[in-house]
Amino acid sequence: MQRVFVFGDKKVTDDSPSFVIAEVGHNHQGNLERCKAIFHAAAEAGADAVKIQKRDNRTLFTREMYDSHYDSENAYGPTYGTHREFLEFDAAQYRELKVYCDKLGIQFFSTAFDDASADFLAELDMPGYKIASGDLTNTPLLKKVAAFGKPIIVSTGGATMDDVQRAYDAIMPINPNLCIMQCTSGYPPPHEELNLRVIETFRRAFPDIIIGFSSHDSGIAMPLIGYMLGARVFEKHFTLNRAWKGTDQAFSLEPAGLKRVVRDLDRARIALGDGNKCPYPSETGPLNKMVKRVVAARELPAGTVLAADDLAFRIPVSAKITAAALRPFEAERLVGHRLNRSVSAEEIVTLADVGIG
């Protein structure tokens, strides 16, 4: 069975190019034009998709939580609710962003944090949905989003294998176009907690779906390792300036970093090859300067019956190397045969010189 995950016009398999998501989150700081600028940079870096987050804050939080005092250097309001509201875009802004991404040629979607947000995104006909780690155990939301019939990407930070299996079992009978992401929900997590081998565990447990990696670390190397372990969908937090205000900014990639992630993932796919060992055209020139050929150890007159000590192994001028030039392991084919011409010292000796072939 081939693993397949289809997101918009992208079909992801084990053999296809990776699907790279620039997770913008709220790095746009509630500013639509800044969000567009981040999206533009993500498209230029080669990302396949950009993602933000949608919350219906009044229904997501208890009244006490919504009204709680929020004293943080990253606050956009005096209470947690006003802070969160500042960062939300409305339907008109989402539509504008959707049109903008269509022009950029990049997919635009969002995380649905609650039922109301899921309905909001469905009305906008988003191409797919992300479910955050915090909702992995929210099976009612999982089933609701699955029923929309669009691709679903689910993160698994803080989860047990039972939690992941439960989510898989809830979604798959409704919508098998699912990608499960290994994720550690630290912001950022220490590297010893990334546990990238879980990607292999997921691939064994869920052999019918594509596995991904949501990387909250601040570097560019971990997605490449994730690829080698079998991940094919990747999410990296993305911004234009890590010094900007916001919790996620400091561990987000800037454009140069995201561009390298995209580049290296594609290089890894191509570089793995088919596993068949063979010579390549790019090797001919360098190897002509490294591989020894069979030459005469001294001047040898015509009629000489060749012995092993009549032959030596040297690197000749590249222009004189033809397909007839023998490599050292072939020298024994000459021994015991008579030269049909005179050969100068260090001149290449071929099978034709002894009447073979």
Q: pTM higher than 0.75, yes or no?
A: yes
User: Is the pLDDT at 357 greater than 80, yes or no?
Assistant: no
The domains of the chain, with CATH numbers, are: 4-272 (3.20.20.70), 281-354 (3.90.1210.10)
| Whole-number average pLDDT of the chain | 95
Predicted local distance difference test score (pLDDT) of residue 239:
94
Instruction: Dump pLDDT digits (tens) for 83-108.
Output: 999 999 999 999 999 999 999 999 99
Predicted local distance difference test score (pLDDT) of residue 209:
98
Predicted local distance difference test score (pLDDT) of residue 279:
92
Percent of the chain with pLDDT over 70: 100
Instruction: Dump pLDDT digits (tens) for 309-344.
Output: 999 999 999 889 999 999 999 999 999 999 999 999
Predicted local distance difference test score (pLDDT) of residue 101:
98
Predicted local distance difference test score (pLDDT) of residue 44:
98
Instruction: Dump pLDDT digits (tens) for 250-263.
Output: 889 999 999 999 99
Distance CA 137, CA 156 (A): 9
Instruction: Dump pLDDT digits (tens) for 206-254.
Output: 999 999 999 989 899 999 999 999 999 999 999 998 889 888 888 899 9
Predicted local distance difference test score (pLDDT) of residue 250:
87
